[in-house]
């Protein structure tokens, strides 16, 4: 018997359905966050920025990739408020937006390691 299929016909949560449906608003938009975290390059960028503030050139060098690729990832991460920038003359330095981003990385890493 397949455990993923209900054993009896009917909806057991019908009386709670309106509240449960309303609760879905609490997670609206989270898929964009997970989309950002699903890319290996973006995870590496966030991880490096969790260690210290870096410019685009530093990130490109460390990740052995080109400047446009790093800029593209940073633009996406900035749109989701995962990183912030600071200008110093002609250079722009990036860092994590806040401690929540680091917590996300640590939680995901711990979950991944525990499941190995």
pLDDT by residue (tens digit) across 84-111?
Answer: 999 999 999 999 999 999 999 999 999 9
* Residue 86 to residue 94: CA distance in whole angstroms: 6
CA distances from 112 to 12, 31, 72, 107, 108 (A): 34, 19, 27, 9, 6
Dihedral sign for Cα atoms in the order 92, 93, 94, 95 = negative
Is residue 23 classed as helix, strand or coil in its secondary structure? helix
pTM score? 0.82
Q: Where are the domains of the chain?
A: 31-114
What CATH architecture applies to the domain 31-114? Answer: Orthogonal Bundle (1.10)
Predicted confidence (pLDDT) per residue in 25-68, tens digit: 999 889 999 999 999 999 999 999 999 999 999 999 999 999 99
């Amino acid at each position: 018997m397949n455990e993923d299929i209900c054993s009896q016909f009917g909806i057991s949560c019908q009386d709670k359905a309106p509240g449960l449906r309303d609760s879905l608003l609490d997670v609206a938009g989270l898929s964009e966050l997970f989309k950002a975290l699903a890319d290996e390059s973006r995870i590496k960028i966030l991880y490096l920025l969790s260690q210290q503030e870096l410019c685009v050139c530093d990130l490109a060098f460390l990740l052995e990739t080109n400047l446009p690729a790093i800029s593209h990832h940073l633009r996406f991460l900035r749109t989701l408020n995962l990183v912030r920038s600071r200008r110093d003359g002609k250079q722009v330095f990036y860092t994590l937006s806040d401690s929540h981003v680091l917590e996300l990385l640590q939680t995901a890493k711990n979950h991944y390691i525990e499941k190995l």
